[in-house]
Amino acid sequence: MIRVTGLSHRIGRTPILHEIRTDLPKGKLTALIGPNGAGKSTLLRLIGRLEPLQSGRVTLDGADIAATPTETLALQMAILGQQTAIASRLRLRELVGFGRWPRHRGRPTPTDKDAVTDALRAFALTDLGDRFLDEVSGGQAQRAYLAMTVAQDTDWLLLDEPLNNLDMAHARSLMARLAGLVAGGKSVVTVIHEVNYAAAWADHIVAMKQGRIVAEGPPKAVLNEATLSDLYDTPVTVSSHNGRPLVLHHV
Amino acid sequence: MTRLPAVLLVLAALICASLTVGAASISILDATRDPQAALVLLESRLPRTLAVVLTGAALAVAGVVLQALVRNRFVGPETTGTAESAALGLLAVTILAPSAPIWAKMGAASLAAMAGTAIFILIIRRLPVREVMLVPIAGLVLSGVLGSVATFVGFQTDLLQYVNSWLMAGEFSGVIAGRYEQLWVAAIAAGLAWFAADRFAILGLGDGVASGLGLSPDAVMRLGLAVVAVVTALVITTVGLIPFVGLVVPNIVARIMGDNLRASIPVVALWGAVLLLGCDLAGRLIRYPYEIPVGMVLGIVGAAIFLWLLYRRPAHG
């Protein structure tokens, strides 16, 4: 379990998060949802120690992440931030291979090579393995970064808007893969913009607005008309499909 | 794709040529019998050839490391204020402690070069990420400012000749045995970079990716800065400013091999040595028996290569 207590954060003078307190359950697919600027990415980056904590505490299975060496954390959780314009000229196979770096630290074993091959196959990149990162499409690059994160083979995966740039086939296949990882014992925490992906696949939902958590719980408890309309400040209709909530927000 | 054997052959041929070319008309094949030929070979030709090879290799590696640290391909140690800061450090120690031993002077130059490059990195972190061309421009401005401070201080203290010997076009005609050995330290620093190659390649993907993979971005940055600073400082104090090697060689190799630095650093080093030795030989042969400084030859050759690179691939940073 990841436990967050008393977490507040500012960027410059702007408060981003206010006294966040939540538990992210182990062995579940957790979705962070909420409008732009709610603080979802910041919360994920703080949990993933990409930014230093200003106040409050984050523990991973009881251990304080601020007190855990970063190379130890890299064996326990993998985090994928949103990709920026950095154009490194690595072959996709080499990029995914770096996901194994925390394990082999420069001396890859056959196990590491197999893990890379598996990750490439899982994200339909086998044929693109020798292409350079700056010569593939945005969606293919995003899949390569996801494959790198999965290849890290940690108990926890933290993903910041992993559906960015993915077409619907690859988006659905990613969510199915994440659900499969959870079924295999892993825990996934992901920021999701399109609330229906959370409705269809998540086990646990954390809804954030203006730096605060406004609702959390299983999809049926959180994804109702009152909560969502209030969360996004726009009227939302919630229907149902195959026993899961179906959010109609686009018409 | 690496074509290592071919590059090695080219380098070996250039080394043989370099050992035979010079103002003294001797035959190096007679070196075992003719003491005059042996003297020229061991005291002048061999040290000069080694100095060129070490400098070219180390500068090219420093360039590839610097480009990974700043995530921009259009910079080299000579366009980021590194060389000028090294000169300032050397100037300071020459004025304040003129009798300091050589290693202390080199250390001061390296530390100053590290500080100057760190200032460059602080500046470019405030620039918008997408404006790739602002990074080299900021570097040129910083180089200009630091260089003019060095010139002013040198002028005021009658040390301008020294400053010019560090920052003007470098050349190897003064290299003899006993006056180039510091370059081995530069080469060792570049070799150290190879051991940390994965770390630099990962840092090139961004601080977030590096942290996620369990690296400390600041620690990798400090290591990289130290490599770049030591190489640059030792090169400018031994032979002067050598332009373009650290800029164009990493670019050419990255086009072919990409940014997997563990595979590419040896190739970068070899190509750096080949380019510099080729230009040095050209400088020795064009007006034989007189010499054109290798820095000037590189200024022309390097600029042409760099323009070609710019026009070949305008879209990527």
Do the chains contact at B215 and A45, CB–CB below 8 Å? no
Chain B contact for A142, CB < 8 A? no
Q: If pLDDT is split at 50, 70 and 90, which confidence band does A85 have? A: low
- Residue A32 pLDDT > 90, yes or no? yes
Q: Does residue B76 contact residue B305 with C-beta atoms inside 8 Å?
A: no
The pLDDT score that the predictor gives to residue B33 is 83
Any domain includes B267: yes
What is the pLDDT averaged over residues B258-267? 95
Chain B contact for A88, CB < 8 A? yes
Any domain includes B145: yes
Do the chains contact at B212 and A80, CB–CB below 8 Å? yes
The pLDDT score that the predictor gives to residue B315 is 45
Any domain includes B34: yes
Strand partners for A158: A79, A189
C-alpha B242/C-alpha B264 separation (Å) is 22
The pLDDT score that the predictor gives to residue B288 is 85
From the list A161, A251, A231, the residue with the least C-alpha distance to A198 is A161
Q: Does residue A56 contact residue A20 with C-beta atoms inside 8 Å?
A: yes
Q: If pLDDT is split at 50, 70 and 90, which confidence band does B313 have? A: low
Question: Radius of gyration over alpha carbons of chain A, in Å?
Answer: 18
Do the chains contact at A70 and B215, CB–CB below 8 Å? yes
The residue of chain A with its CA nearest to that of B317 is A87
Please give the ipTM for the structure prediction: 0.93
Nearest to B258 among A45, A81, A132 (CB): A132
Any domain includes B317: no
C-alpha B195/C-alpha A106 separation (Å) is 9
Q: Does residue B113 contact residue B233 with C-beta atoms inside 8 Å?
A: yes
Q: Give me the number of domains chain B comprises.
A: 1
What is the pLDDT averaged over residues B205-214? 93
What is the pLDDT averaged over residues B283-299? 90
B192: Cβ contacts below 8 Å, ≥ 6 apart: B227
Nearest to B202 among A48, A101, A149 (CB): A101
Domain that holds residue B98: 4-312
From the list B79, B62, B13, B15, the residue with the least C-alpha distance to B41 is B15
Task: Give the burial class of A117: count Cβ atoms within 10 A of its Cβ; 0-12 exposed, 13-18 middle, 19 or more buried.
Answer: middle
Which token pair is B61? Answer: 């590696």
The residue of chain B with its CA nearest to that of A157 is B212
| Residue percentage of chain B with pLDDT more than 90 | 71
B129: how many CB neighbours lie within 10 A of its CB? Answer: 16
The CATH number for B126's domain is 1.10.3470.10
C-alpha A210/C-alpha B234 separation (Å) is 54
User: What is the length of chain B?
Assistant: 317
Q: Which domains does chain A have, with CATH numbers?
A: 2-83+154-248 (3.40.50.300)
Report the amino acid identity of residue B132. V
Tell me: the pLDDT tens digits for B66-96?
Answer: 999 999 999 999 899 999 999 999 999 999 9
Of A82-96, B87-101, B115-129, the range with the lowest mean pLDDT is A82-96
Q: Does residue A110 contact residue A97 with C-beta atoms inside 8 Å?
A: no
What is the four-CA torsion angle of A124, A129, A131, A136, rounded to 10 degrees? 20
C-alpha B39/C-alpha A240 separation (Å) is 92
Q: Does residue B279 contact residue B285 with C-beta atoms inside 8 Å?
A: no
Largest CA distance in chain B: 65
C-alpha A75/C-alpha A103 separation (Å) is 7
The pLDDT score that the predictor gives to residue B317 is 41
| Residue percentage of chain B with pLDDT more than 70 | 98
- Residue B2 pLDDT > 60, yes or no? no
C-alpha B13/C-alpha B3 separation (Å) is 16
Any domain includes B164: yes
What is the pLDDT averaged over residues B10-38? 86
Chain B contact for A94, CB < 8 A? yes
CA atoms within 13 A on the CB side of A100: 20
What is the pLDDT averaged over residues A112-136? 95
Tell me: the pLDDT tens digits for A138-177?
Answer: 899 999 999 999 999 999 999 999 999 899 999 999 999 9
